[in-house]
Structure 1
Amino acid sequence: MFFSKAHVVAVLLSASSSYAQDIGGTFTVNCSPLTIQRRDPVISFGKDTSDHVHAVIGGTAFRGNTTNEDALNSKATTCDKILDHSIYWVPTLYHINNDGRYELVKHKGGAVYYQNRACNYQAGRTRCPSIKENFPTVFPAGLRMISGDKDLRTFNKNDIAQRAINHHCLGSIDQETNSLPLVHCDTIRSQVTFPPCWDGVNVDSADHKSHMAFPAIGDFNGGVCPESHPVALIQLFYEFHFDTKKYTDRNFVFAQGDKTGYGFHGDFINGWTDLKRLGDAHRTCTGAKGVDAPTCSLNIGTDGYAGHASNQTPEHAAPAEDVGLNGPLSALPNNKVPTGETPQAKLRSRVFPRGY
């Protein structure tokens, strides 16, 4: 899908809202799990199975050939925003047991942060205005994208896209690393930040990345967009939670065979059913009361709220293969071979300070 130059100018200039002004930077979509299966309607569109197994949240219309229109028409969502039928997914996590078998780690659901972090390209601009003055452009209909690289097994701190992938250890210690955690964690919260800068024309690209970019000035989590991708959209930040409390040896591998955590990645299909209300949410749902504000544009539920996260049944049956839901496996699904040396603590990628 393509947009005219007139459309791009219009979205760059649009800043009006019909709602009261509760102004801030972020609102959150909280989601229960939907399914664990080996499909990927972005990377492997039209195929019944994909390269590796994914943990999925969001709209119930997930299958191998899900279109954005299918997502919009999902019968339900596992997320707590009625208007959001988007679908979000990441590679799921396995534990390598002492007998060499692969045990599926319980996926506990996730959260998606809708952030006001980037600003439009302007010649000479070196920093973004205040979030009280700067608002992102709403997603174009049909947007789909990925962030991260499934094949990475090493870390380059100078690569902005690699810095956008990290893992948060929750439990006795509270820290984030780009690699899988160094220590025992009650929960591993694997995280991916998506590029917020859009080329203003394409809603997808051959590699599902090139139509989007990270800021040219700033970092992966915000800044001034480059001239090539001048439109600042809402920035997505995923948190997927895995229950790792019972595992003390930290012998984990992601479904694509990644033992390091550097190859974590996320996929997104836009399924918002009311883009006008989504576009107004950063003005109306991010103040002191957040989405509970009576003027929040997302609050259309019969109980006065934006919705409630809940488990739902996928509309389409998963492929007929055992992905570990019935017990440990002798091999990873699709016979993915674990690769990458789990780094020693002293060689591990940088540890983020709290509150980064």
Structure 2
Amino acid sequence: MKWLILALALVAPSQAGLRFGCSTLSIQRIDPLVEPGSVPSAHVHQIVGGNAFNVTMTGDIGTKGSCTTCFFSEDFSNYWTAVLYFKARNGTYKRVPIYDNAQLEGDVSGGMTVYYTQVDFNTNGKDKITAFKPGFRMTVGSPTINSKNKAVAGLRYTCLQTKLTRFPETVEFPTQPCPAGIMAEHHFPACWDGKNLDSPNHQDHMYDTAKDSGFAPAGPCPASHPIRMPQLAYETLWDTRQFNDKSLWPTDGSQPFVWSTGDGEGYSTHADYVFGWKGDSLQKAMDSTCMFDACGNGKPLQSQSVAQMNACSVKSSVNEPIEGWLDALPGKQSMHKQKREFNA
């Protein structure tokens, strides 16, 4: 993805495209899509969106929330990814903070940037874009992927020189300190089978025709998945600057960051989505010609202040430490504890 494309989109004639910030709703170990009802889930997630987020989520989420952390106040969807940790030389872990992206609506508290584009930043193409339906959900990537040859297209990292850096992209974590942090990018498939709001693995009802990076024209949808939906994407800026001193990094020269899954390569990056826009608001946006935050203030979407976004939250369902220096990743028993229990 090139930042130049985004800059050109601001001046070139274009169909609707949404780019907006969502502040952090919660950071905790539950996953209502992959592990519904499980408290806690296998690993920690960072979640944004509507406050109907819970251990189990069914039905039309857009009708169940009272606030949202997203700029567009009609968007009660939930968006989440794994959490990034720094692993120190002594084997302890510390959560990497999240900070706001460039050119958003204000001082968004953590969270991520969400995109709903169509073909690319410059055109709607020839196909009608059909908005997601109430009850729709999907995932991209998998916490079990552990090799480069299995890496999913559109799941990438950018070593930020500044907040505006957008290339090059890599399929694994950057191997050198990044002056402005690490951006994790998650692009979802955009072709729907037209029938199923979900599938057993949360992926088969969708098909990806973009074979490289995101934010680029994709091929036509196949007959098995004929409905073109918005290109959904997340960008999360992990503020790794406090960990850039190489004397803190592993002595073998490897990079020190790990996902909350325990993955230190980066291939297991993944993301989850539960649709929750109110009524036909997203379809109105996809049918319009607005761009980014100019789609707010009733043109055609309702929007809210950053203060309102930052004020929305949910209580954690899991009582466990996730901050400060930890002996092990949440849900991952430390080797020291394993040895003590084995010798007991």
TM-score > 0.5, shorter chain as reference: yes
Cα 1:337–1:149 change in 2 (3 A) is farther
1:238 pairs with one of 234, 252, 274: 234
Q: Is the 8 A contact 1:23 1:285 kept in 2?
A: yes
Match in the other structure for 2:7: none
Amino acid at match of 2:317: A
How large is the RMSD of aligned CA atoms in angstroms? 2.5
Structure-2 residue corresponding to 1:297? 300
The alignment partner of 2:243 has SS state of coil
Choose the corresponding residue for 1:44, options 35, 50, 65: 35
Counterpart residue identity of residue 102, structure 1: Y
Q: 1:243 to 1:220 in 2, by over 3 A?
A: closer
Partner AA of 2:304 in structure 1: G
Task: Give the structure 2 partner of residue 343 of structure 1.
Answer: none
What secondary structure does 1:224 align onto? coil
Summarize the alignment of residues 83-102 of structure 1 with structure 2, pairs less than 5 Å apart.
Answer: 83-102=74-93
Query: Per the alignment, in what secondary structure is the counterpart of residue 111 of structure 1?
Result: strand
- Of all paired residues, the percent bearing the same amino acid is 32
Q: Deviations over 1:221-240 (max 9, x none)?
A: 42211111111111101111
Match of 1:31 in 2: 22
2:232 counterpart SS class? strand
Distance 2:20 2:128 in 1: 18
**Structure 2 Cα separation of the partners of residues 130 and 101 of structure 1:** 48
Give per-residue Cα distances to partners, 1:62-93, cap 9 Å, x unaligned.
22112243453111111100110000000000
Give the corresponding residue for 1:200.
194
Cα pair 1:58 1:86 within 8 Å, conserved:
yes
Show the counterpart of 1:345: none
1:176 maps to which residue? 169
CA 1:30/1:289 → structure 2, altered by over 3 Å: closer, same or farther?
Answer: closer
SS at match of 2:300: coil
Residue in structure 2 matched with residue 145 of structure 1 by the alignment: 138
Q: How does 1:119-130 map to 2 (within 5 A)?
A: none
Partner of 1:79: 70
1:216-267 Cα deviation digits (max 9, x unpaired):
x765642211111111111101111211011123400000011111110000
1:346 corresponding residue in structure 2: none
Equivalence map 1:281-292=2 (5 Å): 281-287=285-291, 290-291=294-295
**Does 2:44 correspond to 1:53?**
yes
2 CA distance for matches of 1:289 and 1:103? 34
What TM-score does the superposition give when structure 1 sets the normalisation length?
Answer: 0.75
CA displacement at 1:317 relative to structure 2: 3.2
Corresponding residue of 1:212? 206
Q: Distance in 1 between matches of 2:334 and 2:147?
A: 17
The corresponding residue for 1:278 is 282
More strand by share: 1
1:188 Cα deviation after fit: 1.1
Which amino acid is 1:196 matched to? A
Contact 1:36 1:55 in 2 (8 A): yes
1:146-197 per-position Cα deviation (integer Å, ceiling 9, x unaligned): 00011112112xx6x7122101121267532111113212221111110111
Gaps of 5+ in 2: 1-12, 99-109, 250-254, 336-344
Query: What is the count of residue pairs matched by the alignment?
Result: 293
- Rate the CA distance shift 1:332–1:289 in 2: closer, same or farther, 3 A: closer
Q: Which residue of 2 aligns with 1:62?
A: 53
